[in-house]
Amino acid sequence: MPLVNILDLGKAFGPDDIFMGLTASVPHRARIGIVGANGVGKTTLLRILAKEDVATEGTVHHAKNLRIGYLPQESVFESSLNLWEECLTVYKDLLSLEAEVNRLAQAMSENHASEELIEAYGKRQAEFERLGGYRYDTDIRITLTGLGFIEKDYQRPLEQFSGGERTRVLLAKLLLSSPDLLLLDEPTNHLDINAIEWLESFLRDWEGAALIVSHDRYFLDQVVSVVWEMTPVLELYRGNYSAYLQQRSERYERRLKEYEAQQEFIDKEQEYITRHIEGQNTRQAQGRRKRLERLLKESQLARPIDHSRTHLHINLAPVVRSGDLVLRTYDLKIGYHDDGEVLFNVPDLVAKRGECIAIIGPNGAGKTTFLKTVLQQLPPLAGKTQLGANLQLGYFAQAHEGLVAENSLMEEIERFAPEKLPAEIRNYLARYMFTEDDVFRTVDTLSGGERGRLALAVLALTSANLLLLDEPTNHLDLPSQEVLQTVLSEFRGTILLVTHDRYLVDALATQIWEVKPQEKTLELFDGTYSQYKSWQAAQNALAQEQNKSEKSRQVEPQRGLRAVTREERERKKRQYQLELEIAETEALLQTLGQKLEHPPRNLDDLHQLTSEYGKAQKQLDRLFNEWASLAEQGGTDTA
């Protein structure tokens, strides 16, 4: 039986239908991605399934005792607890059971243990073990580390956390609670790439079902096996996001052919009826007319709508061809002169005309600062940048700070294209999905997605041949992302692209520049994102193999790098040893736990077994704490 059944579901706000006639089901272990344009009702559907909202029509049937975990786009929950205490609230019942187990153990140590007491202790101990009572500390640490929290965050009060951090806390609690069905609304919004990759791995191995609304196409590719497209009716596709794109195109072409064939048949029938209704073949014509009327009433096909096409029309064609050399750096150090701290060092690099260079790395690593240094909006801490000849620069800022908040959209376009007439400006804005009275709205009233579209409209007016793009797909719906990707793939200039959108990077990038904040350097890779990930995997596998077979005598490193290299080598070696010890300790705990399910009747033996279990649990906590500390120091190899 499915976890959820949806039948003819509809939702309206006042006279406006958001969606109607949705019918689908969510089976066990489903991985379903929900896609569609902004405003089509994806979030509303999740809220209805989570029982946070009610449908206007239709029914939703939930399986009996179904446990649902719902992650909204922004978490608004309030708490006076710190991070660790908040995560412990997931285990409220388990902690009560732990207290009872400890109380029974104390009673047995203070008094002569009766058979009834020993039996009660054994049952509670077995239940505690079955529910994961001896690993919840470890589960919390793994989950928090995976989602990007560090150990010093554990004791921070949640009142000090930002909205994005609180959403991550709620996600951690949902994952720890292991519901039957996860409803996730944009779960990657506040995660960096490392955390997203951890979440992908978690969801792939998870036993429950998940229904995911996301604009992260790469994430959908890695996680989902079914796609629901809301148009606003619901279309079902088997496979991940890339498979959905191919099937959607094939389905549209097939339906278009069916529609055109039927239209051709209708035209021929109407022509025959008109020609013969008054002639010798009147009876045949009348019969055909009746059949045609029945077809038009009961079986006429509507022309299929190509929902892959958006009303967004972007033209980024450069007017002037740049020189072959676009950018060169010399001994460059990125940072702010106010504090003098180097964010990262840049090896001497070269960017040539026609390349698309993706600059990736965690939040706060300095990627935007690097772009502003290239633009000469910020001076470097050391070294210099050299721009090539005949360059016309176009900058898309992540925060869209180049837009004037109090300007109307008409005024904003006029500021960059004073030669355009009002009618031309209105037509131009319509290409970016701003129509009618929208053009008189001020910039400060726009949503994130609307500001992004306006910033793209302004960018297109620059006729740039070097684009510096800082998170250009943020807040864009999937159809708009697809259009932007197509336009950028056809762009005949050069692109420096800062983004967390791995799908866009994988489609466009010819070079990867990754900021490594721990090492304070920029790592250069000449190739695509897929090639870069394969190279990284090979490097990690090689490092692990070297750790396993490391010889006692090493080739002496260069003197200037000796301390760092040895420290890194020893850290990785210790991490590997810890992983082996953790596996051994977990196996010991499992064995002891099985013995405690049927405890010995001799009180001394029982005390010894309980003591061994407690020592092993403390040993596991110590090993994991040391492992987590080393992982935090290294920033990598945390798998």
pLDDT digits (tens, 9 = 90+) for 287-300: 888 998 898 888 88
* pLDDT number for residue 556: 45
- Range name among 110-114, 139-143, 239-243 with the lowest pLDDT average: 110-114
Q: What does the alpha-carbon distance between residue 435 and residue 315 come to, in Å, rounded to a whole number?
A: 18
pLDDT band at 634 (very low <50, low <70, confident <90, very high): low
Beta bridge partners of 525: 512
Whether pLDDT at 257 is above 90: yes
**Is residue 277 exposed (0-12), middle (13-18) or buried (19+ Cβ within 10 Å)?**
middle
* pLDDT number for residue 623: 84
DSSP string, 303-344: PPP-TT--S-------SSPPPSEEEEEEEEEEE-TTT--EEE
Whether pLDDT at 471 is above 80: yes
Instruction: With respect to residue 120, please indicate whether it lies within any of the assigned structural domains.
Output: no
Q: What share of the chain is helix, strand, coil (3-state, %, to 5)?
A: 50, 20, 35
DSSP string, 178-191: --SEEEEESTTTT-
Q: What does the alpha-carbon distance between residue 234 and residue 242 come to, in Å, rounded to a whole number?
A: 18
Residues 6+ apart with CB under 8 A from 283: none
Instruction: With respect to residue 212, please indicate whether it lies within any of the assigned structural domains.
Output: no
Instruction: Enter the DSSP assignment of 445.
Output: G
Is the pLDDT higher at 489 or at 540?
489
Q: What does the alpha-carbon distance between residue 378 and residue 519 come to, in Å, rounded to a whole number?
A: 22
Tokens representing residue 377 in the block = 């909006």
**Is residue 317 exposed (0-12), middle (13-18) or buried (19+ Cβ within 10 Å)?**
middle
> Could you give the 3-state DSSP secondary structure of residue 400?
coil
Closest CA to 565 of 576, 553, 578, 554: 554
* pLDDT number for residue 36: 87
* pLDDT number for residue 53: 92
Tokens representing residue 90 in the block = 């997931």
The strand pair at 466-470 and 494-498 is best described as parallel
Looking at the fold, whether 250 and 371 belong to one and the same domain comes out as no
Q: What does the alpha-carbon distance between residue 304 and residue 497 come to, in Å, rounded to a whole number?
A: 36
Convert 422-431 to b/e letters by CB count within 10 Å (16 or more is b): eeebbebbee
Measure Cα distances from 101 to 95, 569, 574 in Å.
Answer: 10, 43, 35
Is the pLDDT higher at 603 or at 514?
514
What is the mean pLDDT of the segment spanning 385-407? 87
* pLDDT number for residue 307: 65
Whether pLDDT at 304 is above 60: yes
Looking at the fold, whether 341 and 462 belong to one and the same domain comes out as yes
Place of tokens 């904040």: 517
8 Å CB contact between 513 and 524: yes
What is the mean pLDDT of the segment spanning 32-48? 90
* pLDDT number for residue 112: 66
Whether pLDDT at 308 is above 70: no
* pLDDT number for residue 600: 67
* pLDDT number for residue 636: 45
Instruction: With respect to residue 239, please indicate whether it lies within any of the assigned structural domains.
Output: no
8 Å CB contact between 121 and 114: no
* pLDDT number for residue 63: 93
What is the mean pLDDT of the segment spanning 244-255? 91
Instruction: With respect to residue 200, please indicate whether it lies within any of the assigned structural domains.
Output: no
Looking at the fold, whether 521 and 565 belong to one and the same domain comes out as no
Q: What does the alpha-carbon distance between residue 199 and residue 281 come to, in Å, rounded to a whole number?
A: 71
H-type helices in 78-162, by residue range? 83-88, 92-110, 115-130, 136-146
Of the chain, the end-to-end C-alpha distance in Å amounts to 36
State the average pLDDT for the chain: 85
* pLDDT number for residue 496: 94
Instruction: With respect to residue 334, please indicate whether it lies within any of the assigned structural domains.
Output: yes
Looking at the fold, whether 532 and 594 belong to one and the same domain comes out as no
Looking at the fold, whether 456 and 353 belong to one and the same domain comes out as yes
What is the mean pLDDT of the segment spanning 46-53? 93
What is the mean pLDDT of the segment spanning 329-355? 90
- Residue ranges making up the domain that contains 583: 561-634
Instruction: With respect to residue 573, please indicate whether it lies within any of the assigned structural domains.
Output: yes
232 upstream amide cis, omega within 30 of 0: yes
8 Å CB contact between 334 and 381: yes
> Could you give the 3-state DSSP secondary structure of residue 10?
strand
The CATH number of residue 389's host domain is 3.40.50.300
CA angle, 257 then 259 then 260, to 5° = 65
8 Å CB contact between 434 and 458: no
Looking at the fold, whether 378 and 495 belong to one and the same domain comes out as yes
Number of domains in the chain: 3
* pLDDT number for residue 596: 66
Looking at the fold, whether 514 and 569 belong to one and the same domain comes out as no
Task: Kindly state the helix (H) or strand (E) to which residue 263 belongs, with its residue range.
Answer: helix 241-276
CA dihedral 48, 51, 56, 61 (to 10 degrees): 90
pLDDT band at 327 (very low <50, low <70, confident <90, very high): very high
Q: What does the alpha-carbon distance between residue 221 and residue 217 come to, in Å, rounded to a whole number?
A: 6
pLDDT tens profile 534-562: 888 888 888 777 776 664 444 444 433 33
Measure Cα distances from 611 to 72, 105, 606 in Å.
Answer: 44, 11, 8
> What stretches of 400-441 adopt beta strand conformation (E)?
none
- The top-scoring range by mean pLDDT among 142-146, 446-450, 627-631 is 142-146
Instruction: With respect to residue 71, please indicate whether it lies within any of the assigned structural domains.
Output: no
Looking at the fold, whether 579 and 517 belong to one and the same domain comes out as no
Q: What does the alpha-carbon distance between residue 500 and residue 216 come to, in Å, rounded to a whole number?
A: 9
pLDDT band at 33 (very low <50, low <70, confident <90, very high): very high
Closest CA to 49 of 235, 192, 210: 210
pLDDT tens profile 167-206: 899 999 999 999 999 999 999 988 888 889 899 999 998 9
8 Å CB contact between 37 and 477: yes
Q: What does the alpha-carbon distance between residue 202 and residue 198 come to, in Å, rounded to a whole number?
A: 6
Looking at the fold, whether 503 and 415 belong to one and the same domain comes out as yes
- Range name among 121-130, 467-476, 565-574, 583-592 with the lowest pLDDT average: 565-574
Q: How many CB atoms are closer than 10 A to CB 129? A: 20
Looking at the fold, whether 441 and 574 belong to one and the same domain comes out as no
Q: What does the alpha-carbon distance between residue 65 and residue 4 come to, in Å, rounded to a whole number?
A: 12
Looking at the fold, whether 507 and 385 belong to one and the same domain comes out as yes
* pLDDT number for residue 552: 45
Place of tokens 């061994």: 612
Instruction: With respect to residue 290, please indicate whether it lies within any of the assigned structural domains.
Output: yes
Looking at the fold, whether 475 and 334 belong to one and the same domain comes out as yes
pLDDT tens profile 52-102: 999 999 999 999 999 999 999 877 778 889 999 999 999 898 888 888 888
- Range name among 136-140, 221-225, 341-345, 592-596 with the lowest pLDDT average: 592-596
Tokens representing residue 205 in the block = 């191995």
